Structure 1
């Protein structure tokens, strides 16, 4: 027999459980001890005068689902104070609780100099003080050697691995939630190793992410709702795991044992889009090797060889990729033309229910592309250079606010206009509320070349309006070119996404100062009429760990 847990003296409900599912160390559960309660409200109080309180309502069904009151937003290494209010037998009740939490441990690596990202808050508008930001990164810890053979340039992207670093911060810069990397990741196991990426919060408040050879769905309290391996013919998921309204998940993956037209057998690289249902069953897939052109090299030839996403080499900074580089690149996760190399590098997926299509962002084609369920290209947002005749009528024509075509050359440089295409972009997401598309324009290889001076580079958050009938694109808003310049240049990763609740854009310049300090992020408020930025609502900068 074991000792039955008991509530502390004078506790009006049940006992407390810290981290009930072992996956989220800054959560807790107030058990019920037979009480039937409703109209629950929780407030986690700030740790000091500069802190931020978190208050939320808990649905009655959620109370029954959890078996108690879920507590989210505790501080690490702190004796937390939180208040639970509820109704029972038509009477209102309130009780103050305390719980001590452990310190943060998101894993450690050789290059690390702090236990977690250090956040410095630079500015917060009053209306945004209650904002929370979900950030994900990965901490490579070198433990995949137990699963790897010794060929570092072997085919496939399996070697990308590291401790997952998912965390939530408030507008004071304090971490209020993080994922336990030791329970959700194991470098010694094929199924649980991998680079945890593409975390998306679903409409029901849960989270989905991809990790190496599978994908996961988990509640904010840490309850693992489902874990699935990739369908049998696919490998190496990363960058995007997006849940559509029907509950299906769109994942960017690769194909194993792929037979090219020339007979060569390869593992493909970051060029397959798969759709799976909530049981993990394959519903559909898009093989981009057959839909697009793996030989197009116009964007690949413009890359800075030192900052190719996921293959960053400081010794090659400033070296522009050459045709010889592309042709002689080994097969595997190396940028280059042809199936079996990283020729497209899709890094985001969105789904358009209006016409049952997907929208992808391709870093290594410097393109945003819409593709239908029939696997036919609907449109391409990209400079014209390098696209074959088969895609000529799919290229969008840039126009001004009056719908007049702009004068743009084949490399995308448009005269007498602020319009620009996106280059080595990292995300492309629809804004259904506005009928627009946001793209994070990383900006490497802008106008399909390298500038004379590296300090001329910049990254942007940009919003486009696409007319699919007339096959035109208008730029309606941008941020970063003038406001941040080279200081905000983020050669890899990053995101921009519209936030409807406060009509703002969340921009994350994730790799600004790639080999120094990390990125900044926040909500940018813009004037809806002029598209001019009115204020930076939240701005953070953090040191890389």
Structure 2
């Protein structure tokens, strides 16, 4: 991009993958040239720029030896150790440092040599939240951390048995965060793409913070993903060239991000049946979870806006069953696909606006039952203060089409455990579960009646956001952690995994964004040499594969972005009237000023050099900037 006397702000930023590749090349070049020994190693704190509680220790030995790294905890049971295999060139990931201190780190070789290093860290990122209350024991946690992924104004983080933050990411990676078979994490990209929370794709990230790959998707990413046995990835997405969202699933190639297969939920179900209280014609299903079950070769999908979990055949894509309150559904669907409650039916409850469905090894269905509205008819909706959320386990008989509720946790805690959105459950073993209520909101100590707690005012002392994570074993609470923000999901993991935990080499950006839809009709506007008002705060941020327009505009303004040269023009309509948010599952991209808008424009679909212009109401402003997109 070039510009003369710009009438707006312009910033060029490299993708994090590019920044990390350059940083790794620099410290590895330093290591290759230096005489680094066990006694005087090269220590790189925050080696990949986004995990300030990680480091690398690099040194050489004459003979191959194993090395054990131990980060000293505040108590001995909080120590974190990892042994790495024999080598002469040692590049050791150090995980689990504490903030703002000189951490003592032992490096001990199997020949008895040992050194104790002081690794100094800085403050946590501003939006890394700290635990307000935790109840558990180090024996129960057994060295594991509780990881949470962002939903509110917060960042991904991991906490030890004492509630100390020992891991975080300084960028806004969102939605589900799962450990995959090689020990890395799979999580939504930090690159926001479309309203309200869709991101460019998903990222595979090492525990050090290194992005191994970003998998871009034409329909972006939302909510959930699942690693198949062959390494390929099931990912929730959508098609932005039609009028509905969050109703597609794709299988992508693990190596190159190519879309191998697509399942279109829109073609499976009627859109206007079984509506939840948050239903809209655009977001009619709102798929928030995907789970593959190998014994039945089937996919389970959670549709929040129809209060339904559906199960489909993996190969044919045909419906197997539908789990939820049958009220409001056509009789022919109810007879064929829905279950009839049996057993203790007096204490049986259907799930409403659920999240995070999974299938247990015995074929039972678990989910987080948010309970939002807790009815199909408006006249029966419950107030939040009279409601409850819970983890629930159902036993299903697909021959008899019968269902029995065999376990739940949370109903007994009432409104104080109530989350109208987000959250998850995890199955560890029979009787051993995690229940994460991550979207709690209080006003004056009572459950907020706002549609979504994401809209609570953090400056109002009567407003409170909270996340409560519980683990239950044989109906005994073994763990409870409170955080002062909203967190999408929680997952218990060790910091280190079985591999070498080191992923050197070039990170990659794979897959593809879509061609951004253009607007056929261009508003009539008078060309002007005036600069737009500074109040509008117009800015363009350019990346390798896209550029983003930012600005502030009064609601209802006519706004278009125009790219023009002598041969062609590309025109993009930008809405200044926000859609009503009935499902703000990740509020971390929300602007404090709702007059601020943004639009991402992919560099796919055109090449050349273009002047950037903006139509605002009846005037067309030449912003004094040109964009060059190479072939």
| TM-score between both structures, scaled by the size of structure 1 | 0.72
Equivalent residue number for residue 109 of structure 2: 86
CA deviations over 1:172-193 (Å, ceiling 9, x no partner)? 1111111131xxx6xxxxxxxx
Q: Is the 8 A contact 1:121 1:172 kept in 2?
A: no
- Give, in angstroms, the shift of residue 390 of structure 1: 4.7
Is 1:252 paired with 2:203? no
User: Which structure: larger Rg?
Assistant: 2
Equivalent residue number for residue 71 of structure 1: 94
- Select which of 270, 281, 286 maps to 1:293: 270
Structure 2: 5+ residue runs without aligned partners? 1-25, 190-198, 442-452, 457-463, 487-631
Distance 2:352 2:81 in 1: 40
Aligned positions of 1:457-496 closer than 5 A: 457-482=387-412, 484-496=413-425
Q: Is the 8 A contact 1:120 1:542 kept in 2?
A: yes
Equivalent residue number for residue 124 of structure 1: 136
Is 1:274 paired with 2:261? no
Equivalent residue number for residue 336 of structure 1: 280
Question: Cα RMSD between the aligned structures?
Answer: 2.7
Distance 1:428 1:473 in 2: 15
- Select which of 160, 183, 186 maps to 1:208: 186
CA deviations over 1:341-380 (Å, ceiling 9, x no partner)? 0111111111112232211111111111111121111111
Structure 1: 5+ residue runs without aligned partners? 107-114, 141-163, 186-194, 259-265, 309-334, 401-405, 407-413, 527-532
CA deviations over 1:153-198 (Å, ceiling 9, x no partner)? xxxxxxxxxxx721111121111111131xxx6xxxxxxxxx7222
Distance 1:370 1:36 in 2: 56
Distance 2:94 2:138 in 1: 25
Q: Is the 8 A contact 1:52 1:172 kept in 2?
A: no
SS at match of 2:426: strand
Q: Is the 8 A contact 2:426 2:433 kept in 1?
A: yes
Distance 1:452 1:352 in 2: 34
* Count of residue correspondences: 423
- Give, in angstroms, the shift of residue 235 of structure 1: 1.4
Is 1:428 paired with 2:357? yes
Equivalent residue number for residue 341 of structure 2: 398
Is 1:170 paired with 2:160? yes
Higher relative contact order, structure no. (Cα contacts within 8 Å, ≥ 6 residues apart): 2
Distance 2:383 2:434 in 1: 29
Distance 1:366 1:7 in 2: 62
Distance 1:372 1:239 in 2: 21
Q: Is the 8 A contact 2:158 2:165 kept in 1?
A: yes
SS at match of 1:518: strand
Q: Is the 8 A contact 2:355 2:423 kept in 1?
A: yes
Q: Is the 8 A contact 2:434 2:472 kept in 1?
A: yes
- Give, in angstroms, the shift of residue 60 of structure 1: 2.2
CA deviations over 1:385-429 (Å, ceiling 9, x no partner)? 2222452311122222xxxxx7xxxxxxx5xx2221211001101
- Select which of 373, 376, 381 maps to 2:323: 381
Is 1:284 paired with 2:261? yes
- Give, in angstroms, the shift of residue 285 of structure 1: 1.3
- Select which of 438, 445, 451 maps to 1:510: 438
Q: 1:389 to 1:451 in 2, by over 3 A?
A: closer
- Give, in angstroms, the shift of residue 543 of structure 1: 1.2
| TM-score between both structures, scaled by the size of structure 2 | 0.62
Q: 1:81 to 1:6 in 2, by over 3 A?
A: farther
Q: 1:351 to 1:452 in 2, by over 3 A?
A: closer
Equivalent residue number for residue 313 of structure 1: none
Equivalent residue number for residue 372 of structure 2: 444
Relative to total residues, which structure has the larger strand share, 1 or 2?
2
Q: Is the 8 A contact 1:76 1:103 kept in 2?
A: yes
Q: 1:35 to 1:289 in 2, by over 3 A?
A: farther
Is 1:354 paired with 2:295? yes
